[in-house]
Chains A and B, each alone.
Chain A
Amino acid sequence: MFSASDLRKGLKIQIDGDPYIIIDFEFSKPGKGQALYRCKMRNMISGNQFVNTYRSNDKFEKADLEERNMQYLYNQDDQYHFMDTQNYEQLFLTREQLGDNINFLIDNMEVQVLFFGTQPIDVSLPIFVDLTVTQADPWARGDTSGTDTKPITVETGYQLQVPPFVEEGDKIQIDTRTGAYVTRVKE
């Protein structure tokens, strides 16, 4: 259990059976009055936000969250299958739950899955992933501007802008936080 004095930005608590993260926090105490703890919170499953003010005697349940190392196996339609690398248990997440992460998932990739109780609610990918370019227009020689970019497609089907020297079959590094090209990877 947490008490009101533990409240701070970033703390994860459980309210009415759902996990919430505190995204904004202010302590106030009007002259000679009681301490008030104003929290802006985001539901970690639905994304809904709300604001509430708590008092010194309020208590909070710890959100039952756990991160587990898992390996991405394959997808079948909308279901993306993962395996726990410790106990080999398998589970799947839906395309909707994964959001933009599906752009960077390749077979056997190690990821961290965040569980709320037994329910997987989020996936953290490595910050940088290396993906193979599957489709790229050839570099028009003579274009020496060097600042231009061109669109390419990588093995996951994700499209992004890269410098013109990147060719089909190259491996490139992508920042999964922004989805942007970082560098060409030498094999």
Chain B
Amino acid sequence: MLDLEGLHLRAALFRSIRDFFVGQDFLEVDTPVRQPVMIPESYIEPIRAGSWFLQTSPEQCMKRLMGRGAKRIFQLSPCFRKGESGRKHLEEFMMLEWYRQDADYTQLMDDCRSLLCHVMADLLKQKRFAAIIKRSCLQEMELQQQWPRMSVEDAFLAFCPTTAGEALSKNLFDEMMVEHIEPQLGRILPLFLYDYPVQCSSLARRKESDPHVVERFEMYVNGLELANGFSELTDIEEQRSRFNQEIMRIKEMSGRDAQMPRRFLEDLQLIERAAGIALGFDRLLMLLMSKESINEVVSFSPADW
């Protein structure tokens, strides 16, 4: 639960993010939170709202808007994921997403750095927030510098007893990430962990020079995963086949019948090259306010009822 000062800082972060994107000529959009079909992803379970669903992310709507010709769009919207609750998770949380036409994931990495630099400078010059922002781990980082990048394969070699391939085949990929890799990332500067195995990413484009991986990255600060971005897969036949695999896995794992998002696939044909990213707004606020739990940075958490 936020006190009054915290509510002011949360509001200032909303304003600062909007200023940044509007200043970069992005169009702010708002898309329906309630949708009849979700993008099928095996490890994300939607919450039902009648016979429809609450969005797990605004991804499909925003990509469909790209199909209508939008060049640069952003959105701040609540997202809902069933069963996700913990120190870093809320079933309802605030997501910042942005998409760029004619771009790939490296441009999104540049956006991340510009955005954080903008937000820090912006908040620091507002007197009422200066004291709290100065305590933030982000304040101790030289954000203007180039941020380090590390491939998933190299991260496994550096921090894990197994390679990424072995971990995947033994179904230990996520454990290795949580136990060995994540805690090491983004200590001195934010870090981009990039080029994920294709199995871990159903919507990202394969890398031309290495088709076993996709052009996807996660941004880490102080061991906290803050954003996930990728070059969009726009080959609709490959997308359809990956969705089919996800639908089968969802059925196997939980017995749920996920649907194929047909209109999304139709609109995907209208996009040639694009990249998009989702950033956890509440987690960014955790870093800015030096809070250990996501419950502390929202106006009401489940513990407040």
Chain A bound to chain B: yes
A23 at interface by CB-CB < 8 Å: no
Q: Which residues of A contact B173 (CB under 8 A)?
A: 33
Q: Which residues of A contact B225 (CB under 8 A)?
A: 30-31
Apart from A27-B86, A27-B88, A30-B178: 16 A-B pairs, beta carbons within 8 A: A26-B86, A26-B87, A27-B87, A29-B43, A30-B177, A31-B218, A31-B228, A32-B43, A32-B228, A33-B174, A33-B177, A34-B174, A36-B174, A36-B178, A53-B175, A56-B253
Shortest distance in angstroms between B258's beta carbon and chain A's nearest beta carbon? Answer: 16
18 A–B pairs (Cβ distance < 8 Å), ordered by A: A27-B84, A27-B85, A27-B89, A28-B86, A28-B178, A29-B84, A30-B174, A31-B218, A32-B41, A32-B200, A32-B201, A32-B228, A33-B174, A36-B174, A53-B179, A56-B253, A56-B254, A57-B253
A36–B88 alpha-carbon span in the complex (Å): 13
Q: Which residues of B contact A35 (CB under 8 A)?
A: 43, 83-84
Q: Given A5-B83, A28-B178, does the pair A33, B200 have CB atoms closer than 8 Å?
A: yes
A27–B89 alpha-carbon span in the complex (Å): 8
A57–B253 alpha-carbon span in the complex (Å): 8
A34–B178 alpha-carbon span in the complex (Å): 11
Report whether over half of chain A's contact residues are helix, strand or loop; otherwise say mixed: loop
A56–B228 alpha-carbon span in the complex (Å): 22
Considering only residues 198-233 of chain B, those with a C-beta below 8 Å from chain A are 200-201, 218, 225, 228
**Contacts from B to A (Cβ < 8 Å):** 41-44, 83-89, 173-175, 177-179, 182, 200-201, 218, 225, 228, 253-254
The A-B contact count (CB < 8 A) is 52
Q: Mark A16-58, 1 if CB is under 8 A from B, else 0.
A: 0000000000111111111110100000000000000100110
The 3 closest A-B pairs by CB, nearest first: A27-B86, A33-B174, A30-B177
A29–B83 alpha-carbon span in the complex (Å): 11
A89–B117 alpha-carbon span in the complex (Å): 72
Q: Which residues of A contact B42 (CB under 8 A)?
A: 34
Q: Which residues of B contact A29 (CB under 8 A)?
A: 43, 84, 89, 174
- Nearest chain A residue, comparing its CB with the CB of B177: A30
Q: Which residues of A contact B175 (CB under 8 A)?
A: 36, 53
Considering only residues 47-86 of chain A, those with a C-beta below 8 Å from chain B are 53, 56-57
Q: Which residues of A contact B228 (CB under 8 A)?
A: 31-32
- Nearest chain A residue, comparing its CB with the CB of B81: A29
A20–B201 alpha-carbon span in the complex (Å): 37
Shortest distance in angstroms between B91's beta carbon and chain A's nearest beta carbon? Answer: 11
A26–B87 alpha-carbon span in the complex (Å): 7
Shortest distance in angstroms between B182's beta carbon and chain A's nearest beta carbon? Answer: 6
Q: Which residues of A contact B41 (CB under 8 A)?
A: 32
Shortest distance in angstroms between B160's beta carbon and chain A's nearest beta carbon? Answer: 13
Q: Given A5-B83, A28-B178, A29-B84, does the pair A34, B89 have CB atoms closer than 8 Å?
A: no
- Nearest chain B residue, comparing its CB with the CB of A27: B86
Shortest distance in angstroms between A71's beta carbon and chain B's nearest beta carbon? Answer: 40
A32–B85 alpha-carbon span in the complex (Å): 15
Q: Given A27-B84, A27-B85, A28-B178, does the pair A33, B253 have CB atoms closer than 8 Å?
A: no
A32–B193 alpha-carbon span in the complex (Å): 13
- Nearest chain A residue, comparing its CB with the CB of B179: A53
Q: Which residues of A contact B43 (CB under 8 A)?
A: 29, 32-35
Q: Which residues of A contact B182 (CB under 8 A)?
A: 30
Shortest distance in angstroms between A34's beta carbon and chain B's nearest beta carbon? Answer: 5
Shortest distance in angstroms between B97's beta carbon and chain A's nearest beta carbon? Answer: 14
Shortest distance in angstroms between B156's beta carbon and chain A's nearest beta carbon? Answer: 13
A32–B81 alpha-carbon span in the complex (Å): 12
